[in-house]
Structure 1
Amino acid sequence: MAVLERHLILYRRLWRASVFSSFVLPVLFLISIGIGVGGYVGEVGGVDYLAWIVPGVMASTAFQMAIGESTYSVLGDFKWVRSYHAMRAAPVEIRDMVVGRMLYILFRVEIAAIVFLGVTGLFGALHSPWALLTPLVAALVGLAAAAPVTAFAASIEHDSYFALLFRFVMIPSTLFAGVFFPVEQLPALVRPLAYLSPLWHGVELSRAATLGTAPPWPVWVHAAYLLACAAAGTAWAVSAFRKRLQD
């Protein structure tokens, strides 16, 4: 809780810088693509494009936010600010450092998801009361993305690796994980890559909730995959933190 408090105090001083990317940009994107482009697309899967794309944008916002909060800030707290070294000298347990950061990312993701859900509800894009569960799905997506990326950030020495992460992981996942078009439209050889992405599982769960339909795979399979990614990533992060702080 002390680690979480530290992150919240920093965010209280810096929150204005994240308002546009966390709240305004997703809504503007939704209006421009969902309504603007949606007017030309028409319907997808029997529903208007706005209602179809809303859960995808919500899940991708959680995915991108989790990755963004797990890159430069983690490496910086090791290499430049050295706040993790200070925590270790306090002492704070390694697992508390990792869990405290995961709780902070959950806080950021949940606030953005709830605001986004309220705004999209005003546009009539939610077709089922199950949509109230989408913040929970956003939390699973955030953890599944943040935990392994946090471990990766704790394992590298130079921030140039983040450009590779954004270019070859985050952007392709956003484009080809069913956010903007059904994965079934991809070539059969490429679809398994989409299925490996935590974002695809989050998109399908969110879409099932907002539309009141069944996801392509059983709900427990999607949820179990996200939980497995979060658990494996957290274990890796604890190991990476311990190795980095062993001196």
Structure 2
Amino acid sequence: MSPLAWREFSYWMRHYRRTWRGTVVISVANPLLFLTAMGVGLGRLVGPGSAPLHGTPYLQYLAPGLLAAASMQTAFVEAGRPVLTAVRPQGSYRAAVATPLEPRDVHAGHLLFVAFRLLTSASAFVAVLFCFDGFHTPRTLLLVPAALLTGLAFAAPIAAWAVGLDGPTPLMSLLRFVLMPLYMFSGTFFTIGQLPAALRVLARLTPLWHGVDLCRGLAEGTATAGSVLLHTTYLAALAGAGLVAGRRAYTRRLHG
């Protein structure tokens, strides 16, 4: 990474210093309330004896998937509208490329900040998990890098796409018609084995399912070397493709 990219990263960090308190509250309060309501409250109705859970308490089943889904949402929040706003005529990207920074530096620096946000949000979520029974094991810490990789698999392609937009409408369409269905039907709340056969095949092709299955396998200790390799390769390939596409898209838009 170019040393100039760190200047772009430092810009976003200075901006974040004015808003970090609100994000910390969201990163801690939201998972705490959601896990209490869904995992503990609803979990009393969905007992571990349910066939799809194979004896696993619902809270322990839900939490890893919810972490992966939260990383997807954080990726959208940090790599969607902020990129769209920054690329506008009066946005920070335009000011940055008027300096020695190149579009690739702007791209790398902003994505580095997004990775920072994904890392801190995942760490806060995992810290909340230690408040609940069933997560007092060292393998719970493995959820942090798994969630980070899941978030990057969304953030990099979203940033590459958002930098070419002229308005927020496509972003809202992405949230409504892509991310929310993924949130509901990628194994976060229930096993995809309960879906029709065609939808099960489709679900297994989505990055969120790979992130959910990776996080859940690590949390439960059921992940195999083969499954971890499959999921990490898929997610890393998607993040890498997004990085390559983003570098080209930033150069085309900011030097256009």
The answer to whether the aligner puts 1:104 opposite 2:109 as a matched pair is: no
Q: In structure 2, what is the equivalent of residue 21 of structure 1?
A: 26
| 1:204-244 Cα shifts (integer Å, max 9, x gaps) | 11111111112696211100000010011111111111111
Post-superposition shift, 1:80?
Answer: 5.3
Report if the CA contact (8 A) 1:54-1:125 is conserved. Answer: no
**Between the two proteins, what is the percent identity of the paired residues?**
39
Structure 2 CA distance for partners of 1:215 and 1:128, relative to 1, 3 Å: farther
Q: How does 1:1-247 map to 2 (within 5 A)?
A: 1-43=6-48, 44-79=53-88, 81-126=90-135, 128-214=137-223, 218-247=227-256
Post-superposition shift, 1:61?
Answer: 0.9
Post-superposition shift, 1:189?
Answer: 0.4
Post-superposition shift, 1:19?
Answer: 3.3
TM-score w.r.t. structure 1 length? 0.95
Post-superposition shift, 1:18?
Answer: 2.3
Report if the CA contact (8 A) 2:97-2:103 is conserved. Answer: yes
Report if the CA contact (8 A) 1:41-1:49 is conserved. Answer: yes
**Greater CA drift, 218-227 or 23-32:** 23-32
The unaligned stretches of length 5 or more in structure 1 are none
| 1:138-167 Cα shifts (integer Å, max 9, x gaps) | 110111000011011111111111111001
- Number of corresponding residues: 247
TM-score w.r.t. structure 2 length? 0.91
Write the distance in 1 (CA, Å) between the matches of 2:225 and 2:201.
Answer: 14
- CA RMSD across the alignment: 1.6
Post-superposition shift, 1:119?
Answer: 1.6
Write the distance in 2 (CA, Å) between the matches of 1:45 and 1:91.
Answer: 58
Q: In structure 1, what is the equivalent of residue 3 of structure 2?
A: none
Post-superposition shift, 1:132?
Answer: 1.3
4+ runs deviating over 3 angstroms:
none
**Greater CA drift, 112-121 or 141-150:** 112-121
The unaligned stretches of length 5 or more in structure 2 are 1-5
